[in-house]
Chains A and B, each alone.
Chain A
Amino acid sequence: MYMNEEISLANGAGGEAYRQMVQEIFIPGYGSPELNQLGDSAVLAGPGGSGELAFTTDSFVVWPLFFPGGDVGSLAVSGTVNDLAVAGAIPRYISVAMIIEAGFPTETLKRITASIAATAERAGVRVVTGDTKVVEHGRADGIYITTSGVGTFDGNWPRPPQQPCAGDALLVSGPLASHGVAVMAAREKLEFEPPLQSDARPLAGLIRSLLDSGLSVHAMRDPTRGGLGATLCEWAEDSGLNLTIKETDLPVKAEVRAACDLLGLDPLFCANEGVVALALPADQAEAAVACLRAHPDGRAARIIGQVSAGLPGQPGHVSVDTGYGTLRRVTLPEGEILPRIC
């Protein structure tokens, strides 16, 4: 693989091209022990190695700004809060920075602000700092928002090691692909009946109730860009283990599946903004499902697969049991036709 001369939309899609850009440009450029972990959040040591903090940042360029089930404001809070929560931290504070195009309607800015406030309240975080820049009309597209967040590790649970283990079960907390497909449909004005709803929501409460239950979660991610497929491929690559999921067990709403079929998309690789994927010991899987389902944001939680030891000397990989007696290999998506979904 080689890096193209121009940055293309694929470099922002969370797939192979994105990883390549990070590995070839950012890590050599300004890598640090914390950055090089490439976690959803950086874990920062406090003074004297105590009082660790989780820190993360994310930019939101979604278009359209409002879509069924959410808007750029709710997304900007949820995305950052979820990155902190899956690290095992309790989200505490966020910043909100905006780049606004001159001519942007004040009324719309108020709506987005109200959405940020409501989502922050729901997630239990406070907006503590911010910044606003306005650029000439035509030099940006409406509004771009960057949020950063700080979380604390003071829950009564251990920080998930973010390493799946052989013998783990794989779970998701809800139906897949809803966000990516809903934004795509809203942007292209594709009308589906029933209308497709994004799943964008803060997951801090759901994750907290899961971790609080004493289950030993080995790895946890919110599979946003690149979808569940990208998360599983990264887990397999990082751990050297084999991950097998069952296609017939993947929860996807019927209307989302129909839209995916029509658009030639694979739900496995479509973005989620309200789903957590996790790996934990198989004997705790049913308890975890019960715990997730007891929370309003995890009603459709289910077991989707398992982790097994890889062959010595071979890289770990992800397979899909097609339900027809065959296993199909899943590879990290190279890119996608869904830019600006978050």
Chain B
Amino acid sequence: MEKREQVNRLAEILAKTSQDLPDFAVMEVCGTHTHAIARYGLSALLPPNIKLVSGPGCPVCVTADETLARALTLARQPATCVCSFGDMLRVPVRVRYPDGQIGLDSLLRERGLGRDVRLVVSSLDVLRLAQAEPDRQFVWFAVGFETTAPATAVLLQQARAAGVHNLKVLCAHKTMPAALLALLDPTGRRPARQPIRGLLCPGHVAVITGADAFRFVPEQLGLAAAISGFEPEDILAALIELSRQLRRGQPGLRNMYPAVARPEGNLAAQALLRQIFQPCPAVWRGLGEIPGSGLALKPEWRDFDALDSSLTPDPAAAVRPAPENGKTACHCGQVLRGDESPADCPLFLRVCTEANPRGPCMVSSEGACAAASRYGTGGAAAVRIKDSKGVRPDSLSGHNESGKEPDVHE
């Protein structure tokens, strides 16, 4: 079994590379990494002195209550349809309704109450919907980082070219570098509960921004950095690189995803982003407002902006966030900052479950809490299969040794 042997070999190299290093933590910035690490049980392959900490890179998780409340307000407008990705629809937020009542709401709950909320898998689906139903106002609730913002940009370009006027964007796109700087700035007041010494940087973000966009990690934060893909082999190789940098005492930036992430990135996508968006301050759940970390529509694209007051003419009809005692019992903020593991949250698997999530980290499949809950890293961690020769602990009657997914014919 080729993959397994390769992964085992990488795990052995990692153990050797890191063996004399003092305990250290690596933040996996991106939710896709968090998900892959949990799904493949990679924590079981790590030497005891390396700890992986989830970062703020789940776009659903970092979307602020204010933005969610705005989406709920829009969904309650007549002849209006709010579209977003599935995870976004489930995120609960404690809100105060116009009549003064307080309750836990989500876009999915609004849909259950008869409001028009639709799940899409691509931003361009919204254009199709808007063209098919010209009498209805469509709102694209746009979340995501540099990886998904270009798709929103393309949507707007095509909508304008097609002369579509019943489509707006509730823009909650965010960009990674400013947030990481704010989160990990050594001069900041952030408590060093888990001394993070390296970053596993997301390969797909680097595809757009260019690998060079992460230079600030070693240069300004003094942290080791490796840009990594999302397969188990990629992640282990990146951890080996981070260990080597720490051994040498020379944090740097190594692009481990060079086949797809070039130093300068995707220039066409960057030009498109600059054409449609401009940086703006953005509120991140758990991190607060970070200057320059959000994307707002440029003035010449404002006719697509769902923040336009004509969509929600009556401010008194707005749904507003109503955090308990000004703050929530959910520790999503601390988890997103890497200060806590999901199991440190008092609600984790007690009150907050995948069926009844209290915070976005439990909702999104990329969220740290959902990964910990679904893949058992919360209570029963993954374990390493002890041998290294590919013989399983008790025989699984030797079928499919190829390691490929089985063919399915019907």
What is the interface of chain A, defined by CB distance below 8 A to chain B? 1-2, 4, 8-10, 13, 15-17, 169, 174-175, 188, 190, 244, 246, 248-254, 257, 262-264, 266, 282, 285-286, 299-300, 302-303, 305-306, 308, 317, 321-331, 333-335, 337
- Would you call the interface of chain B mostly helix, strand, loop, or mixed? loop
In chain B, positions 73-114 with a C-beta closer than 8 Å to chain A are 86-87, 89-90, 108, 112
What is the interface of chain B, defined by CB distance below 8 A to chain A? 1, 3-4, 7-8, 11, 38-42, 44-45, 86-87, 89-90, 108, 112, 118-121, 232, 350-351, 353-356, 364-366, 373-376, 380-385, 388, 392, 394, 396-397, 399-400, 403-406, 408-410
A246 to B392, CA, bound (A): 11
Choose one: A1, A249, A263, A264; the contact of B399 (CB below 8 Å).
A249
Choose one: A1, A249, A264, A327; the contact of B41 (CB below 8 Å).
A327
Choose one: A16, A257, A266, A322; the contact of B355 (CB below 8 Å).
A16
Question: Across chains A and B, which 3 residue pairs bring their CB atoms closest together, nearest first?
Answer: A335-B355, A329-B376, A326-B41
Choose one: B364, B399, B408; the contact of A252 (CB below 8 Å).
B408
The residue of chain A having its C-beta at the shortest distance from the C-beta of B353 within the complex is A334
The residue of chain A having its C-beta at the shortest distance from the C-beta of B375 within the complex is A328
CB of A177 to closest CB in B, whole Å:
11
CB of B317 to closest CB in A, whole Å:
24
State whether B356 touches A17 (Cβ < 8 A). Answer: yes
Choose one: A169, A254, A323; the contact of B403 (CB below 8 Å).
A323
State whether B404 touches A335 (Cβ < 8 A). Answer: no
State whether B383 touches A326 (Cβ < 8 A). Answer: yes
CB of A228 to closest CB in B, whole Å:
14
State whether A266 touches B41 (Cβ < 8 A). Answer: no
Contacts of A302 in B (CB 8 A): 399, 406
Contacts of B373 in A (CB 8 A): 331, 334
Assuming the A-B contacts A169-B397, A324-B3, are A334 and B385 also in contact, with contact meaning beta carbons closer than 8 angstroms in the complex? Answer: no
Choose one: B87, B112, B385; the contact of A325 (CB below 8 Å).
B385
A99 to B346, CA, bound (A): 44
Assuming the A-B contacts A306-B396, A324-B4, are A249 and B406 also in contact, with contact meaning beta carbons closer than 8 angstroms in the complex? Answer: yes
CB of B228 to closest CB in A, whole Å:
16
Most chain B C-beta atoms within 10 Å of own C-beta, residue among A16, A285, A324, A331: A324
CB of B352 to closest CB in A, whole Å:
10
A-B contact pairs, 25 of them (CB 8 A): A8-B355, A8-B356, A17-B355, A17-B356, A175-B410, A190-B120, A249-B399, A249-B400, A249-B406, A251-B408, A254-B408, A262-B121, A263-B86, A266-B374, A299-B409, A303-B399, A305-B396, A317-B380, A322-B39, A324-B4, A324-B41, A326-B41, A327-B41, A327-B384, A331-B376
CB of A57 to closest CB in B, whole Å:
24
A18 to B399, CA, bound (A): 35
A285 to B398, CA, bound (A): 12
CB of A14 to closest CB in B, whole Å:
11
CB of B271 to closest CB in A, whole Å:
27
Assuming the A-B contacts A251-B406, A302-B399, A331-B376, are A190 and B121 also in contact, with contact meaning beta carbons closer than 8 angstroms in the complex? Answer: yes
- In addition to A323-B3, A335-B354, 17 A-B residue pairs with Cβ atoms within 8 Å of each other are A1-B350, A17-B356, A188-B118, A190-B120, A248-B405, A249-B406, A264-B86, A264-B365, A282-B397, A286-B397, A325-B11, A325-B45, A327-B384, A328-B38, A329-B376, A331-B374, A337-B86
The residue of chain B having its C-beta at the shortest distance from the C-beta of A253 within the complex is B408
Choose one: B4, B45, B354, B375; the contact of A334 (CB below 8 Å).
B354
The residue of chain A having its C-beta at the shortest distance from the C-beta of B114 within the complex is A138
